[in-house]
Amino acid sequence: MKRAALLLLLLAALPLSARMRAVRSSTVETPASWLRARAVPALDPGDAQVVALGDVTHATHEIYAAKQVIVPQLVARGFRVLAFEAPYTEYKALDDYVLHGTGDPAAALNLPLYWFWDTNEILELVQWARAQNAAGLTPPIRIEGVDPTSPRVTAAEVVAYLRRVDPAFAASAEATYRCIREGYGGAEWCRRDIAAIRTVMEARRAQYELASSAEEFEEMLHAARVVEQGERVLAEGFNVRDEPMAENILRRVARGEKVIVIGHNEHWGRTPYVLDDPHSFIRSAGSILGERLGDRYFVLGSLLLEGTFLAVEYTPGVRSGEIRLQTMTAPSHDDFALLLSQSRLDSMILPLRGVLPAWLAGTHRLRFAGSTVPSRDRATLDVPADLGKKFDAVLYVKTSTPTQLRHWPRF
């Protein structure tokens, strides 16, 4: 990794001695002095077992460069699972690469629906993880996709496993899984029959473990569960992904593993979020993890003041889109990024736990972007939020530049 660029985050915060002098010499604490006194040079998640690193856009270079600094720090603290907001089965190729050095990680990242991970920044992070494992890191770093958005691919994986351990049942399972064909919109009988596959697998655990291994059986049993999760996504839409993503993280937690989550702010924040409908709140994966884990869950959000990023833009009246350079919309007067810009720092990590000053506490405005833009006229959504309730800490970046995208698919 390019260390000169990656140290941006660490060099942004003032040295501890300078921050202490600023507090002691100030009789009236201004927003600038408060921010500069509390900016920290490295992330400290305390005793957290899950740390989420949130993206305010899916394609800002500076945020991904920060992850290249933060992830090694967390690995040094015993974190070993890199969980991406990405598909379960497809990301097994990345896990095989970091574990064994097999396969092509660049090819594995080339998934059009998840184009935003197909960047030089993420590829370098994956290659770094492989280098750590190759050097003997124990236990090794693992990669997992926790998003159940491609159940047909995972269903094929389950069927392939069943062909090895129970060919007769494999044919039955394959026939059952055909109900989630292209254009599937939900059917109670389909949901019931798909769930029954996992029930049969559980009942035949001893037989399947003998024909494979206990570890492989557990992975395939979970794959069957991911198909169930994905059926619901196909039936009800992408807004129901958060609950299964949280479930998939908690599976790792139950095994005693320490997990780093890489995904969007809105999925991993501790509070519900809104998208197009301001009256429709979505229960975030982060709110579920926060309820279950308390302080063992830590989320670092991110904020941008200005600059450019990448997102898919659809042409009005045309059912196709392409990835284009987008510009952050101007902040309102009470935008959180504008408030943090009073620090006059280019970037910083700001802890948020504890009592916040009146000018930062409570509800203000927060701008973010997903993988697509809301409209050609406005690249970001602007929503009310309580930063102290949403995140445990925040990475503030003054100016965004686009990620180094490796492929440019059309949609």
pTM of the model: 0.93
Is the pLDDT score of 6 beyond 80?
no
Judged by DSSP in three states, 216 sits in helix
Helix (H), strand (E) at residue 100: helix 92-100
Would you state the pLDDT for residue 275? 72
Judged by DSSP in three states, 327 sits in strand
Residue 55 counted as domain residue: yes
Q: What is the distance between the alpha carbons of residues 356 and 334, in angstroms, rounded to a whole number?
A: 15
Spatial contact of 115 and 85, defined as CB atoms under 8 Å apart = no
Residues 195-211: pLDDT tens digits? 999 999 999 999 999 99
Would you state the pLDDT for residue 5? 46
Containing domain of residue 207, as a range? 151-236
* Claim to verify: residue 198 and residue 341 sit in the same structural domain: no
Residues 89-102: pLDDT tens digits? 999 999 999 999 99
Is the pLDDT score of 14 beyond 50?
no
* Claim to verify: residue 78 and residue 224 sit in the same structural domain: no
Write the CB contacts of 199 (distance below 8 Å, at least 6 apart in sequence): none
Residue 35 counted as domain residue: no
Q: What is the distance between the alpha carbons of residues 62 and 73, in angstroms, rounded to a whole number?
A: 17
DSSP label at 372? B
Nearest to 80 by CA among 144, 140, 145: 140
Q: What is the distance between the alpha carbons of residues 304 and 346, in angstroms, rounded to a whole number?
A: 10
Residue 2 counted as domain residue: no
Spatial contact of 149 and 84, defined as CB atoms under 8 Å apart = no
* Claim to verify: residue 191 and residue 159 sit in the same structural domain: yes
Would you state the pLDDT for residue 34? 97
Is the pLDDT score of 264 beyond 70?
yes
Residues 364-411: pLDDT tens digits? 999 999 999 988 889 999 999 999 999 999 999 999 999 999 999 998
**Cα distances (angstroms) measured from residue 356 to each of 40, 180, 244, 391:** 16, 49, 33, 13
Is the pLDDT score of 363 beyond 90?
yes
**Mean of all residue pLDDT scores within the chain:** 92
Q: Which of 236, 261, 296 is the last residue of a domain?
A: 236
Q: Which of 191, 209, 236 is the last residue of a domain?
A: 236
Q: What is the distance between the alpha carbons of residues 78 and 64, in angstroms, rounded to a whole number?
A: 21
Helix (H), strand (E) at residue 263: strand 259-264
Is the pLDDT score of 12 beyond 50?
no
Would you state the pLDDT for residue 163? 98
Spatial contact of 48 and 298, defined as CB atoms under 8 Å apart = yes
DSSP label at 401? -
Would you state the pLDDT for residue 280? 73
Nearest to 382 by CA among 275, 286, 300: 275
Q: What is the distance between the alpha carbons of residues 335 and 4, in angstroms, rounded to a whole number?
A: 30
Q: What is the distance between the alpha carbons of residues 213 and 6, in angstroms, rounded to a whole number?
A: 41
* Claim to verify: residue 136 and residue 280 sit in the same structural domain: yes
Q: What is the distance between the alpha carbons of residues 137 and 80, in angstroms, rounded to a whole number?
A: 10
* Claim to verify: residue 128 and residue 139 sit in the same structural domain: yes
* Claim to verify: residue 225 and residue 247 sit in the same structural domain: no
Is the pLDDT score of 60 beyond 70?
yes
Residue 197 counted as domain residue: yes
Q: Helix 16-25 and helix 31-38: axis angle, to 10°?
A: 150
Please state the domain count of the chain: 2
Q: What is the distance between the alpha carbons of residues 395 and 249, in angstroms, rounded to a whole number?
A: 23
Q: What is the distance between the alpha carbons of residues 169 and 158, in angstroms, rounded to a whole number?
A: 11
Residue 101 counted as domain residue: yes
pLDDT confidence of 23, banded at 50, 70, 90? very low
The DSSP secondary structure of 157-178, one letter per residue, reads: HHHHHHHHH-HHHHHHHHHHHT
Residues 305-337: pLDDT tens digits? 999 999 999 887 777 899 999 999 999 999 999
* Claim to verify: residue 186 and residue 292 sit in the same structural domain: no
Query: Mean pLDDT across the stretch 227-251?
Result: 96
Spatial contact of 158 and 217, defined as CB atoms under 8 Å apart = no
* Claim to verify: residue 340 and residue 278 sit in the same structural domain: yes
Spatial contact of 343 and 35, defined as CB atoms under 8 Å apart = yes
* Claim to verify: residue 88 and residue 125 sit in the same structural domain: yes
* Claim to verify: residue 230 and residue 375 sit in the same structural domain: no
* Claim to verify: residue 387 and residue 249 sit in the same structural domain: yes
Would you state the pLDDT for residue 1? 53
Q: Which of 181, 203, 236 is the last residue of a domain?
A: 236
Determine what percent of the chain is predicted with pLDDT higher than 70. 92
Q: What is the distance between the alpha carbons of residues 283 and 188, in angstroms, rounded to a whole number?
A: 23
Spatial contact of 145 and 79, defined as CB atoms under 8 Å apart = no
Is the pLDDT score of 250 beyond 70?
yes
Would you state the pLDDT for residue 375? 85
